[in-house]
Amino acid sequence: MTTTELPVLFLNDLVVLPGMVVPIELDDSSRAAIDTARASSDGHLLVAPRLDDRYASYGVVATIVQTGRLQTGEAAAVIRAERRAKIGSGVSGPGAALWVEAEDLPAEDTDTEEIRTLAADYRSLVVATLQRRDAWQVIDTVNRVTDPSALADLAGYASYLSDEQKRQLLETPAVAERLTVLIDWTKDHLAEVEVNDKIADDVREGMEKSQREFLLRQQLNAIRKELGEDEPDGAEDYRSRVEAADLPEAVRTAALREVGKLERSSDQSPEAGWIRTWLDTVLELPWNVITTDSEDLAGARQVLDDDHHGLEDVKERIVEYLAVRARRAKRGLSVVGGRGSGAVLALAGPPGVGKTSLGESIARALGRKFVRVALGGVRDEAEIRGHRRTYVGALPGRLVRAISEAGSFNPVVLLDEIDKVGSDYRGDPSAALLEVLDPAQNHTFRDHYLDFDLDLSDVIFLATANVIENIPQPLLDRMELITLDGYTADDKIAIARDFLLPKQRELAGLTDDEVDLTDEALREIAADYTREPGVRQLERLLAKALRKATTKLADAEGSANEGDPEKLIIDLGDLKDFLGRPRFTPESHERTSVPGVATGLAVTGLGGDVLYIEASAVEGKAGLTLTGQLGDVMKESAQIALSYVRAHAAELGIDDPTVLDRQIHIHVPAGAVPKDGPSAGVTMVTAITSMATGRPVRSDVGMTGEVTLNGRVLPIGGVKQKLLAAQRAGLTTVFLPQRNEPDLDEVPAEVLETVDVRPMADVATLVAAALTPIAEAQARAA
């Protein structure tokens, strides 16, 4: 092996292979290497790439062809690489350049069958690459190279190889190995070039087609303008749009039939405008756009939990729906479309419990589009089914418009305030909803405007309502009813802490490092500043408190000389400064301190509430006077209560039954609020008995239940809402009908822990437990 001492030239951004002739810009170090080579080694030097992590182990022995200057005036040299050499140890030499030992590599036998085959394969790949560039002169040069090693080293000129790849070739003396890796790299490059060329051809063809169509359309518009027929959207355009659209077969047939009418009609005909509007509506509907439901049950449940606290019934129903669809899909069963494949849920409950916001949360959990349809105050049946096209200004119904707005044919549609739908001479919208909300019928829903069947069976319909009684029974029967009865005190604190407070902090421009409320303060706000089943008023009061906190912080920052003000903590004692006096205080003890007043429980459109029923006897003809805007059913309950007390005076402990022969007056505050229903029957019996015996009703007792003439306590509705109202009012004992015991399973455990619920079957037993003991009543009277 021959060793030669040569000056070395390291190149930063260039890898030189044997056989290459390259120009090099000269800096101080490279100029020193060139000058030393010309002066001390007959113009020979070793050229090697400069590596970041180590010195190069191989380089090329090169000769200096020419030196001079570039057009920019920079010094440059042209070198010709001759042979590959291995870099040895450094040696001392003349001049300012670095000298190393260059070991010539032993000659390799390249005349073997393997190397000839590899060289032929590589040559054909290089020629194919050059043919794509039309580099015919270069192809002739490649074809004239017969040495396989020299052919492989021509890759130094390849622009598609990186410097790292070229360095690998330089450090691979074996010809067969170099040809093998070059064949792989060139094949990859050719594949990439073919893909890029195909994409470029497709883009070019598309541009040429678009330009051709643009020119033709411009010419067509110019011809129409000259003929006085300047109509941009002609029948031909609609026909092409219908044929290109992905429409169901029945819809396509109907659309083409309308296009035929448009082609035969005059441009001045009013019918042409109606047909165009109809066709635009049909083409805008997302006929075959179906979003894929999420199959991640845990993820869907997490989304629902992140957006809403509690509401377990709704969350479980949605997760069940997802689980069924996922299992059907797993077993290859149809999950889209068809009779009864969707879901129709009715969310009923008082305001502020999260019914409307649940719709968007459910859509996000399912991975579906969401659209809201407000039904409050809708009185026209055509709002649901659409208008006939014969009417001027006809439009499709709200459901068709909602699907078009959603952009898919299986969205979550929220029918908001369905109990507020009215009816008049224009029709009954609730009757039109019967088909929409029937899972067994809505796969063939027919909108009057479109006039063909639509499959709504895969749509999830959510209807919200405050008062179930206002929903027609046939419509309610078609929906799966889920009641949201309100939140407990602990629920409200959790919602305020996790949802409302962060939201209002952000709206006020605050952070949790600046303002916070204690749990005691939140409990006080929920208990004595608001008495609502939901959290809407609670959120308003939090916003009010944070606005005042922002003002206080701004004043503190303005008066502080240095540093930031301390974190503001709003505690129980600070609420008066931030929110004023409490709006609600416990009044059951005060109201029932005199005989003749009993505490009942009722359900209104705003949730559960406490109802005080007052009874008194005045001199006059025997009779019954009722005040307080009572409905017919409640008036009858008062008559039944008085008749029962008169018939069972001795059993109820009334020593002087003649008091019942006076004029009995029953009043139910508040007088401005209409009231009706039979559930106040036991409360009226208790109030009349309390008045007749002179024994006050216990202040910690509430009651509800319908009463019969023989004293039986019949079941009522709204148990959960009534118990939540009792807890808010501070009642500790509640009498319920015994047949309502199964309803206690839906009541939160924390309510049952604070309220002693006593099921009753006989009203006499209830009255005896509700009145204060005789000794205590006599002590009060004394």
Residues 605 and 746 in one domain: yes
At 232 the pLDDT is 47
> What digits encode the pLDDT tens for the residues 433-471?
887 887 777 778 888 887 788 888 888 888 888 888 888
Please choose, from the candidates 610, 618, 514, the residue with its C-alpha nearest in 3D space to the C-alpha of residue 569.
514
Residues 418 and 372 sit within 8 Å (Cβ to Cβ): no
Place of tokens 């069972």: 648
Find the range with the poorest average confidence among 76-80, 301-305, 483-487, 715-719: 483-487
Determine the average pLDDT of the residues in 410-418.
87
User: What is the secondary structure of 620-669 as a DSSP string?
Assistant: SSSEEEEESSB-HHHHHHHHHHHHHHHHTTTTTT-S-GGGGGSEEEEE-S
Is residue 167 scored above 60 in pLDDT?
yes
Cα–Cα distances (Å) from 454 to 206, 409, 440, in that order, read: 36, 10, 14
In 445-533, the DSSP E strands lie at: 445-446, 453-454, 460-465, 480-483, 515-517
At 328 the pLDDT is 76
The CATH number of whichever domain residue 361 belongs to comes to 3.40.50.300
Residues 384 and 432 sit within 8 Å (Cβ to Cβ): yes
Joined tokens for residue 266: 């005059």
Domain boundary among 579, 608, 643: 579
**DSSP 8-state assignment for residue 771:** B
Find the range with the poorest average confidence among 129-143, 170-184, 211-225, 416-430: 211-225
The CATH number of whichever domain residue 613 belongs to comes to 3.30.230.10
**Is pLDDT larger for residue 371 or for residue 343?**
371
Find the range with the poorest average confidence among 224-233, 593-602, 768-777: 224-233
d(CA 701, CA 757): 10
Joined tokens for residue 113: 């069958």
226 is a domain residue: no
- Please identify which of the residues 679, 690, 699, 720 carries the catalytic annotation: 679
The CATH number of whichever domain residue 566 belongs to comes to 1.10.8.60
350 marked among binding-site residues:
yes
Q: pLDDT grade, residue 350 (50/70/90)?
A: confident
209 is a domain residue: no
Joined tokens for residue 380: 């026209």
Run of H or E including 227: helix 175-227
- Please identify which of the residues 166, 369, 548, 722 carries the catalytic annotation: 722
Is residue 305 scored above 60 in pLDDT?
yes
Joined tokens for residue 94: 């003349």
d(CA 474, CA 776): 53
d(CA 620, CA 662): 6
Residues 321 and 177 in one domain: no
Query: How many CA atoms lie less than 13 Å away from 583 in the CB half-sphere?
Result: 11
352 marked among binding-site residues:
yes
Measured in degrees and rounded to the nearest 5, phi and psi for residue 68 equal 175, -150
210 is a domain residue: no
Is residue 237 scored above 80 in pLDDT?
no
177 is a domain residue: yes
Quick one: what percent of the chain has pLDDT higher than 90? Answer: 3
Residues 642 and 768 in one domain: yes
Is residue 770 scored above 80 in pLDDT?
yes
289 is a domain residue: no
Joined tokens for residue 535: 């959290």
Please choose, from the candidates 392, 405, 463, the residue with its C-alpha nearest in 3D space to the C-alpha of residue 434.
463
Please choose, from the candidates 51, 38, 52, the residue with its C-alpha nearest in 3D space to the C-alpha of residue 6.
38
Domain boundary among 69, 104, 139: 104
Residues 604 and 464 in one domain: no
At 268 the pLDDT is 62
Residues 555 and 644 in one domain: no
Residues 669 and 771 in one domain: yes
Residues 331 and 475 in one domain: yes
The CATH number of whichever domain residue 139 belongs to comes to 1.20.58
355 marked among binding-site residues:
yes
194 is a domain residue: no
Is residue 267 scored above 70 in pLDDT?
no
Find the range with the poorest average confidence among 211-215, 318-322, 631-635: 211-215
**DSSP 8-state assignment for residue 307:** H
Average pLDDT, the chain: 81
d(CA 718, CA 533): 13
What pairs with residue 146 in β-bridges?
none
The CATH number of whichever domain residue 55 belongs to comes to 2.30.130.40
**pTM listed for this prediction:** 0.59
Domain boundary among 483, 511, 539: 483
Is residue 703 scored above 60 in pLDDT?
yes
Residues 361 and 454 in one domain: yes
Find the range with the poorest average confidence among 150-159, 329-338, 471-480, 611-620: 329-338
Query: How many structural domains does the chain have?
Result: 6
492 as an active site residue: the answer is no
Q: pLDDT grade, residue 735 (50/70/90)?
A: very high
Cα–Cα distances (Å) from 416 to 423, 464, 539, 703, in that order, read: 17, 5, 21, 33
Is residue 230 scored above 60 in pLDDT?
no
Q: pLDDT grade, residue 737 (50/70/90)?
A: very high
d(CA 564, CA 559): 11
Place of tokens 């916001």: 357
3-state SS assignment for residue 756: strand
Q: pLDDT grade, residue 744 (50/70/90)?
A: confident
Residues 359 and 396 in one domain: yes
CB neighbours (10 Å) of residue 168?
Answer: 16
Residues 657 and 754 in one domain: yes
Q: Which of 212-216, 263-267, 559-563, 689-693 has the highest average model confidence (pLDDT)?
A: 689-693
What pairs with residue 91 in β-bridges?
99
351 marked among binding-site residues:
yes
Please choose, from the candidates 52, 16, 283, the residue with its C-alpha nearest in 3D space to the C-alpha of residue 170.
16
d(CA 156, CA 166): 6
Find the range with the poorest average confidence among 80-89, 498-507, 709-718, 769-778: 769-778
Residues 628 and 700 in one domain: yes
Residues 553 and 607 in one domain: no
Pairing of strands 515-517, 568-570: parallel
d(CA 170, CA 440): 76
641 is a domain residue: yes
Find the range with the poorest average confidence among 6-10, 309-313, 702-706: 309-313
685 is a domain residue: yes
748 marked among binding-site residues:
no
675 as an active site residue: the answer is no
d(CA 652, CA 433): 51
- The domain in which residue 717 lies consists of 588-781
> What digits encode the pLDDT tens for the residues 106-153?
888 777 888 888 888 888 888 888 887 777 877 887 888 888 888 888
Measured in degrees and rounded to the nearest 5, phi and psi for residue 24 equal -135, 130
